[in-house]
């Protein structure tokens, strides 16, 4: 197999969760197809998760010809923090930094917030739904410990109770990313999510980061409305495809 600089890797986390060898490629291009298929053959991959730009229609059509199934559309928004700093607000809800020892609380909030979330895992009928839920719970939990997942976790607190969380990461000296957030259902609609995001924006500004990005499923209109009111605008988008290889191939 000829080696190329293609960001494809075996996901040990997904393999452990679903019990099948899973590979991922975050930004696939047309010329990558032969290498990616050969990689999956060599490493006995059962499930390939591949993302590509929605604008690359020749690639999309070629993937469909090769048995790739569309699972979701991920849309990214950007915000110029110099032109759109977060507004000031007054609220009884307190936003503060996460403290060690609160990991299980973050985990339980994510468990409720992402139950049957309409991401690409849940869209795949071959994957166990309970394990799909655990994907997002684990993502939030790992944010509390691993810098490659998130640099900082914020929590929303009301009357001494943590009711929500949000995470942020510096992708580069110039770009930050709002990664994952969740709010307990009884406290949704109170502006909690918005306040967590604004504090993540402030975190970036304090580090002279000029741009913050974030992403969600294109069908998740509620958070997109929050983003646009804070000066975010649609920037680019990806399709997520799943490719299953035959059970009896090996």
Alpha-carbon distance of 138 to 150, in angstroms, equals 13
Percentage above 70 pLDDT, the chain: 97
Handedness of CA 226, 238, 142, 146 (dihedral sign): negative
Q: What is the pLDDT of residue 1?
A: 46
How do residues 107-148 score in pLDDT, each as one tens digit?
999 999 988 788 999 999 999 988 998 899 999 999 999 998
How do residues 184-230 score in pLDDT, each as one tens digit?
999 999 999 999 999 999 999 999 999 999 999 999 999 999 999 99
Confidence of residue 76 (pLDDT cuts 50, 70, 90): very high
Closest to 155 measured CA to CA, from 100, 89, 222, 106: 106
Domain ranges of the chain: 8-75+239-244, 79-235
Q: What is the pLDDT of residue 247?
A: 63
Alpha-carbon distance of 4 to 89, in angstroms, equals 50
Which residue would you say has higher pLDDT here, 75 or 6? 75
Whether the Cβ atoms of residue 9 and residue 15 lie closer than 8 Å to each other? no
- Token pair listed for 162: 């943590």
Alpha-carbon distance of 19 to 28, in angstroms, equals 25
Closest to 32 measured CA to CA, from 53, 7, 54: 7
Predicted model pTM? 0.91
H-run or E-run covering 42: helix 33-42
Kindly report the CATH class assigned to 79-235: alpha beta
């Amino acid at each position: 197999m000829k080696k190329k600089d293609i960001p494809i890797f075996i996901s040990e986390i997904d393999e452990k969760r679903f019990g099948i060898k899973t590979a991922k490629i975050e930004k696939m291009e047309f010329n990558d197809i032969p290498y990616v298929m050969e990689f999956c053959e060599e490493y006995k991959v059962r499930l390939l998760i591949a993302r590509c730009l929605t604008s690359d229609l020749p690639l999309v059509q070629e993937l469909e010809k090769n048995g790739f199934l569309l699972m979701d559309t991920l849309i990214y928004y950007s915000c110029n923090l110099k032109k759109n700093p977060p507004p000031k607000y007054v609220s009884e809800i307190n936003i503060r930094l996460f403290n060690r020892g609160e990991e299980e609380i973050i985990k339980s909030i994510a468990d409720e917030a992402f139950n049957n979330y309409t991401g690409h895992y849940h869209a795949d009928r071959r994957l166990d739904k309970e394990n799909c839920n655990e994907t997002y719970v684990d993502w939030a939990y790992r944010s509390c410990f691993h810098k490659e997942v998130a640099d900082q976790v914020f929590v929303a607190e009301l009357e001494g109770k943590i009711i929500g969380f949000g995470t942020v990461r510096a992708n580069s000296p110039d770009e930050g990313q709002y990664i994952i957030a969740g709010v307990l259902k009884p406290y949704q609609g109170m502006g909690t999510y918005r306040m967590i995001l604004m504090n993540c924006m402030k975190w970036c500004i304090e580090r002279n980061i000029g741009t913050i990005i974030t992403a969600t499923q294109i069908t998740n209109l509620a958070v997109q409305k929050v983003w646009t009111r804070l000066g975010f605008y649609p920037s680019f988008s990806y399709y997520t495809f799943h490719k299953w290889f035959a059970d009896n191939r090996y």
